[in-house]
Amino acid sequence: MTASDDGKPCSLTRFLIEEQRAGRIGPDLRLLIEVVARACKRISITVGKGALGGVLGDAGGAQGASINIQGEAQKKLDVLSNEILLEANAWGGHLAALASEEMDHSQPIPDVYPRGNYLLLFDPLDGSSNIDVNVSVGTIFSVLRSPEGVDRPGDEHFLQPGTAQVAAGYCVYGPQTTLVLTVGHGTHAFTLDREIGSFTLTTRGIRIPEETKEFAVNMSNQRFWEPPMQRYVGDLLAGKEGPRGKDFNMRWVASMVADVHRIMTRGGIFSYPLDSKCAPKGGKLRLMYEANPMAFLVEQAGGAASTGRQRMLEVQPTGLHQRVPVFLGSKREVEEAVRYHAEG
C-alpha cells in the first residue's frame, strides 16, 4: 500500500487534494476526476451484477440490435455505462461538453447547468466482446481544455492532439477494480476498496520496464498485416534463434484496458496494427477514446506509444471517431516496432 506522508492509506480524494495543493491541478479538474471515478464505481457495481442484474447481452429490443456510430452492435452494458457517465458529468459545472465512443456527436452541457472549461471524452465500456464471458473490461477517459472564447463546443473543438490532454485514465473491472490516472505528473494506480467504497492509492509513479519479452496482438489477423508488421512479429516468433536473440511470450485479452494494465504492471508491447480489413477506416482502435489516453498514461509511466510511423500524442485528429494503428508499452520494444515500419 502506498501511504500518505502521515503513514495513513491515501484515498483518491486525498491524492487529488494534495495534487491541487502542489499546484498540479485546479479545483475543477479535481472535481472532474472525482466525478469520473464515482461513475466508474457505479459501472463496476453494474458490471459485477452480471446475469443477476439482467445486464448481459445485446442492447436493443424487438426491433433488432442497437448499432453505434462505429457500426458495432452495442451491448446492454455499453449503453448503461454511457448513461452512467453522462448523468454523473452533466451537472457539476466542471465540463463544457463531452464525447463518447458510443455517441455520434459530442454533447454540450445542457443550458440548465453551469458550463466549465473542460472537455471529457470516454470509451464507457472497452472490451465489449468480453462482457458476457466474465473477462475484464474497462472504462477509458481523456480530458482536454475547452478552447478559450467558445461557449458551446462542437465536435471540431475536440480535435486536439494527445499532447493537449490535461488528464487521462482508465478503470479496469477485473478481479479487482483499479483506476489508473495521470494528470501529467506520473501515472498512479488506485484500487477500489469494495468494503468502504473508496479508491485507495496502491502504486505511486508506475514505471514500465524498458525491455520486454512479451507481446500482445490478435494473431488471427496475421495474414492481413502490412509487410513491416509481418517481419516484426515473424522475428519475435523466431525467438532465441532469430535476429532478436530471445524467446517472446504472447498474451491477448482482447480488452485493451486489461492488456494495457498488464503492461503497466510488468511491461510488454501492445499492438493493434493496420490490416487490410481495418485499413479503409484507418485502423481498429479509436484515437480520441482509446489510443490517446492510453498513450498519455504509458508515456507518463516511462513507456512509448506510436502509430508505427508517428508518436501517437502528436497525431493531429481529423475526426472525433478517427481510428489509428497502435503500438504502445515498453519503450525499447516500441522503438523496435517503429524501426521495422521505418524500413518500409
Q: Which residues contact ligand AHM (rule: CB under 6 A)?
A: 72, 123, 126-129, 218, 254-256, 272
Contact in structure between 126 and 255 (CB atoms under 8 Å): yes
By CB under 5 A, is residue 126 in contact with Mg ion? yes
The kind and range of the H/E element at 191 are strand 187-193
By CB under 5 A, is residue 333 in contact with Mg ion? no
Least distance (Å) from Mg ion to the CB of residue 135?
14
Which entry of Mg ion, ligand AHM, none binds 255, CB below 5 to 8 A by partner kind? Answer: ligand AHM
Question: DSSP label at 12?
Answer: H
Least distance (Å) from ligand AHM to the CB of residue 312?
15
Which entry of ligand AHM, Mg ion, none binds 15, CB below 5 to 8 A by partner kind? Answer: none
Report in angstroms the alpha-carbon separations of 167 from 111, 122, 174, 186, 334.
25, 12, 23, 11, 23
Q: Could you give the CA distance from residue 302 to residue 274 in angstroms, rounded to a whole number? A: 25
Q: What share of the chain is helix, strand, coil (3-state, %, to 5)?
A: 40, 25, 40
Question: Which residue in the set 19, 78, 102, 123 belongs to the binding site for Mg ion (CB under 5 A)?
Answer: 123
Least distance (Å) from ligand AHM to the CB of residue 123?
5
Joined grid coordinates for residue 290: 482509446
| Contact region with Mg ion (CB under 5 A), list: 124-132, 158-166, 203-211, 241-249 | 124-132
Least distance (Å) from ligand AHM to the CB of residue 73?
10
Q: Based on CB atoms, which residue is closest to ligand AHM, 188 or 262? A: 262
Least distance (Å) from Mg ion to the CB of residue 217?
16
Q: Based on CB atoms, which residue is closest to Mg ion, 55 or 326? A: 326
The kind and range of the H/E element at 143 are strand 137-145
Binding interface with Mg ion (CB under 5 A): 123, 126
